[in-house]
Amino acid sequence: MTAKRSVRGRLMMTLGVLASLTLMAGGIGWLGLTRTERTLETLQAETLADVRRVLTLAERGASLAALAPAIVDARDPAGLDAGRRGLEDRLDEFLELVNRLPALGNPAIAPTVEPSIVRLADRLDGIVRNLIDITAEAIDSRARLADARARVAAAEAEARAGTIVDADIWRGLAALNAALAAVDIPEIEAARAAFPAFAAAGASPLASRLATLADVFDVRILDLSIRNRTRFCLAAIVVSSADLTSMVKIYASAVERSGRARAETTADELRAGKILVLLVGALALIGSLGFANAFMRDVVEKLRGTAGAMRRLADGDTTAEAPGLDRSDEIGELARSFQVFKAQASERDMIERQLRQAQKMEAIGQLTGGIAHDFNNLLAAITSNVQLILDAADPGSRTRLRALRALEATDHGAAMVQRLLAFGRRQMLSPEPTDVDALIGDLVDLLSSSVGAGIALDHQPAPGDPSGAAVHAMVDPGQLENALINLVFNARDAIGGRGRIRLATRAGTDGMVRIEVADDGTGMNPETLGRIFEPFFTTKPAGAGSGLGLSMVYGFVRQSGGRIAVASEPGQGTTVSIDLPAVAAPYRPAAPVQARGADTDDIRRRVLVVEDDPTLRLSIVDVLTSLGHTVAGVASAEAALDWLAAHAADLLLTDVALGAGMDGLELIGEVRRRHPAMAVLATSAYARELPPDVPVLPKPFRREDLTRALALAVAAPLSPAETAPAPIA
């Protein structure tokens, strides 16, 4: 305890000195910053107010200049009144702002700026108000001009409609149109001079009407005059706005000079404060370094060593050691904690590797399962057609020999696909409560002579349990046997002639039964260990194995709801651990059910085949036809129901997966509802959850498998009157 207090005491003393020096430096800095804060607040209040006035003044002046064209565009008195009100509001705000410029009255800033801005504001006010009046005249002038244009157009239309028109009338119309199209007053005056003098009395109606149009020239001259005055006002507004902008810039420069002077004063105060803070900080730093150096000699060096060990451990160096393990103070506790963390970093790397391996195996399993499903359909079609070729070949002919070799190859392919389905967890399983120790005991007796004379095959059963639940697993016993045989033979190959293979069982604490297959063979390196469950991966020489055995074991265990793990090191042997779901019920094997005539049924039946793969459908139809049955084939469940509505059949043979629409199970349910006397048989290329009352024929299948499945699917033989099949359309 003395050492602990010593470390803590030295640390507290060092921290106390550092805290005292820090508080002193902070207090001095706080006083300086407080003074600077007051100065900055004053500078901000004064400078920002002036800047705000500059920006607002510039914005209001620019808005007045921008609003003037909108006034000119007014087309009626209502629009003009609305624009006038908006513009007058802007003018009032602008003049009020100009009158509230107290800083401009200071001769030290700009003695001539304020009067100039006031004069410009008054001038801009007068120009804008004059523009409003001119715009009112323009609205009235545009109305009169539109009326004049309408009257001229009407007269011109009347002249064109007449058969005989005086030449003076055409000259008058031409003069009026020229005046309406003129762009300056001299052109209008020239058009007026060309206008004939029509007498109102005694003239034709058209000439009399033209005489009343002489005011068009005055209306047009007034319109051009108003336009010219409008342009002048707009130009004057632009000039005044530019002058106002110049005055605002002068004002802004004055504000800038004033702010700069105040900023220089504040900067002097800040420099003085910084120098003082630096001096105090330097003293605090010197004192802190002295105390810190004394502290680091004992405590911090140990902490640094521990931190270095942590970094090396993070980089994968499991030999890293933290200093101070023999100390009884906090440093010793930290070093001992590091040792625990190192061990845990090693309960985590293993878990991460297992997780990556599980993710990889999951992806490979999905891929291989999908490929196997499609390949089974192809094998089924090939097997059926090769069977037909074999049946048609003469005994002893080359064709028959070739067909036999092809069937043997398809059998090998089917076995390989079955292993792929097992790895992809899509094989057909029949799980039942299984006495694992009894199964392993029988298997050891069977394999003892197969593993070689130099290899001992031992069985270590689990300790007995009164309830019997500890050694029973819910699993397919046949597939479990195959999996254990694969593991035993792999262990045999790893031993190489002389050694020991141990099969042990024990009850887990998580509701699982564990089976271990251990050998004292050559073991595996990490790279090989990471790939052993991959399909087609093998360490055996070419031709010595397909590499599907362990992948099948992996898929079977996972599909059974269990888990599998492998521990191995070069030269240390290998242990494969399989965990399977435990059950309480003891194993009671069910007696196999055999239908009458299962292998010898030769009754000819009417069969409807439902298969969406056209090649496989035709192959199945040909095989059934060759067996003497009357067969029809359709591609979908809907087509099957339509066919059955018009024809009779003894048995429905349907694939489970039928693509879009109703699947095979739904079809079977509907057929049983509509035709309860009809037998059913399902085919499937991979495992799926099927009702127990639906017989299933796995793909691919030989003719013998099909014959046996048909016989088992039929509950009872048909009556003699029904043995002759009726023709199927």
* CATH number of the domain that residue 697 is part of: 3.40.50.2300
Q: What 3-state DSSP class applies to 459?
A: strand
Where is the domain boundary, 394, 423, 452?
Answer: 423
Are 642 and 688 in a shared domain? yes
Residue 119 or 400, more confident: 400
**From CA 417, how far away is CA 701, in angstroms rounded?**
13
The CA-CA-CA angle for residues 326, 327, 329, to 5°, reads 150
Q: Report the DSSP beta bridge partners of residue 473.
A: 434, 582
pLDDT band at 642 (very low <50, low <70, confident <90, very high): very high
Q: Report the DSSP beta bridge partners of residue 581.
A: 512
Residue 462 DSSP label: P
At residue 350, the pLDDT reads 57
Give the CATH number of the domain where residue 484 resides: 3.30.565.10
At residue 105, the pLDDT reads 45
pLDDT band at 607 (very low <50, low <70, confident <90, very high): very high
Where is the domain boundary, 366, 394, 423?
Answer: 423
Residue 570 has pLDDT above 80, yes or no: yes
0.75 cut: is pTM over it? no
Are 411 and 439 in a shared domain? no
Of the ranges 386-400, 567-581, 625-639, which one carries the lowest mean pLDDT score? Answer: 386-400
Tokens 């107010």 label which residue? 49
Of the ranges 211-225, 363-377, 484-498, which one carries the lowest mean pLDDT score? Answer: 363-377
Does residue 312 sit within a domain?
no
Does residue 547 sit within a domain?
yes
Other Cβ atoms closer than 10 A to 133: 12
Percent of the chain scored above 90 by pLDDT? Answer: 10
Domain count, the chain: 4
At residue 595, the pLDDT reads 37
Where is the domain boundary, 423, 440, 457?
Answer: 423
Task: Round the average pLDDT of the chain to a whole number and report it.
Answer: 74
Does residue 318 sit within a domain?
no
Does residue 259 sit within a domain?
no
Work out the angle between the directed axes of helices 185-193 and 167-181 (0-180°, nearest 10). Answer: 170
Would you state the torsion angle of the CA atoms of residues 561, 429, 506, 515, taken in this order, to the nearest 10 degrees? -90
Does residue 619 sit within a domain?
yes
The tokens describing 51, both together, are 């800047």
Residue 582 DSSP label: B
DSSP string, 83-144: HHHHHHHHHHHHHHHHHT-GGGG-TTT-TTHHHHHHHHHHHHHHHHHHHHHHHHHHHHHHHH
Are 530 and 645 in a shared domain? no
Residue 367 has pLDDT above 80, yes or no: no
Are 697 and 616 in a shared domain? yes
State mean pLDDT over 577-602. 58
Would you state the torsion angle of the CA atoms of residues 71, 73, 75, 77, taken in this order, to the nearest 10 degrees? 0
Are 400 and 516 in a shared domain? no
Residue 518 or 233, more confident: 518
pLDDT band at 40 (very low <50, low <70, confident <90, very high): low
Are 530 and 629 in a shared domain? no
Are 564 and 462 in a shared domain? yes
Are 628 and 696 in a shared domain? yes
Phi-psi region of 565 (alpha: psi -120 to 50; beta: other; left: phi over 0): beta
Does residue 82 sit within a domain?
no
State mean pLDDT over 299-324. 71
Percent of the chain scored above 70 by pLDDT? Answer: 63
Are 365 and 458 in a shared domain? no
At residue 203, the pLDDT reads 62
pLDDT band at 225 (very low <50, low <70, confident <90, very high): confident
Closest CA to 341 of 320, 326, 356: 320
Of the ranges 21-30, 40-49, 228-237, 379-388, which one carries the lowest mean pLDDT score? Answer: 40-49
**From CA 55, how far away is CA 66, in angstroms rounded?**
16
In this predicted model, what pLDDT tens digit does every residue of 411-423 receive, in sequence order? Answer: 767 666 665 655 5
Are 474 and 558 in a shared domain? yes
Which amino acid, residue 240? Answer: S
At residue 591, the pLDDT reads 39
Under 8 Å between Cβ of 191 and 217: yes
At residue 368, the pLDDT reads 61
Does residue 381 sit within a domain?
yes
At residue 491, the pLDDT reads 87
At residue 468, the pLDDT reads 43
Residue 589 has pLDDT above 70, yes or no: no
Are 552 and 446 in a shared domain? yes
Residue 578 has pLDDT above 80, yes or no: yes
Are 417 and 441 in a shared domain? no
Residue 702 or 319, more confident: 702
Does residue 441 sit within a domain?
yes
**Domain coverage including residue 199:** 140-229
At residue 725, the pLDDT reads 39
